[in-house]
Amino acid sequence: MAKLKYKRILLKLSGEALLGDQEYGIDSTVLSRYAQEIKDVKDLEAEVGIVIGGGNIYRGIENSSDGIDKVTGDNMGMLATVINALALQSALEHKGLYTRCLTAINMEKIAEPFIRRRAIRHLEKGRVVIFAAGTGNPYFTTDTAAVLRAIEIEADLILKGTRVDGIYDSDPEKNSSAVHFPQISYADILRLDLKVMDLTAITLCKENKLPLLVFNMNKPGNLRRIVLGEKVGSKVTENATTSVQPA
């Protein structure tokens, strides 16, 4: 058995990642591929928690002109994360993994309510724990929910899976000259206003000294390489140094 550098991780996935080549909904091929990546990590006996967004179904009030108020829109977005969580749970179980879905909004018919000690116990028993419905409150993103859950379960690392190879000074999908940061500090993230996670999430990481790693989830084997300690993506820590000069 390979030696793990990170025993307990919290993986944050965006809802949009599940779109694949579709404009709406869930691509079963992407779902199955992600489930296999997670299984490969579980086979190393890592403990895995997951938070998934709901942007492939509904993004709260963002870019909306349908007249729905902010609180209602955010509640709808939280319910969208539950749909994605159940889909991911099913895909993981098809790979032979034991799972639990815990929600911040009580809906006992389909998932367990989030209780911190119960979540930790599930992880210790080898179950993949999927945290759904965000924080259970409007005005908070699933990025913030992911960091909060990572802190609560005492994760060694929070991982944000994206479509690019880490953190850049601009969008590498739009700018071929974008500069990649293998490592960067929370302070530089905030100072340069890099759109890695929202302000609340980054601040929570900083205050709790929780390391964050941003990586390309679509490259097979990346997740496994990370938990084994290989250099993948961009790592954000308190004292990381970068070559970035103040603007």
Q: What is the pLDDT of residue 239?
A: 84
Contact in structure between 121 and 40 (CB atoms under 8 Å): no
Res 2: pLDDT:
73
Q: Tens digit of pLDDT for each residue in 34-76?
A: 999 999 999 999 999 999 999 999 875 555 556 788 899 999 9
Whether residue 33 contacts residue 39, with contact meaning beta carbons closer than 8 Å, is answered with no
Give dist(CA 183, CA 233) in Å, integer.
9
Q: Note the pLDDT of residue 246.
A: 45
Domain ranges of the chain: 8-237
10 touches 204 (CB < 8 A):
no
**Predicted pLDDT of residue 65:** 55
Predicted pLDDT at 247: 43
Check the CA dihedral 84-57-144-173 and report its sign: positive
**What is the pTM (predicted TM-score) of this model?**
0.93
Question: How would DSSP label each residue in the chain?
Answer: -PPPS-SEEEEEE-GGGGGTT-SSS--HHHHHHHHHHHHHHHTTT-EEEEEE--TTT--TTTT--S---HHHHHHHHHHHHHHHHHHHHHHHHHTT--EEEEESS--TTTSEEP-HHHHHHHHHTT-EEEEESTTSSTT--HHHHHHHHHHHTT-SEEEEEESSSSEESS-TTT-TTPPEESEEEHHHHHHTT--SS-HHHHHHHHHTT--EEEEETTSTTHHHHHHTT---SEEEESS---SPPP-
Distance CA 161, CA 182 (A): 15
Name the CATH code of domain 8-237 (choices 3.40.50.2000, 3.40.1160.10, 3.30.465.10, 3.40.50.1970).
3.40.1160.10
Q: Which residues of the chain have pLDDT under 70?
A: 1, 60-66, 242-247
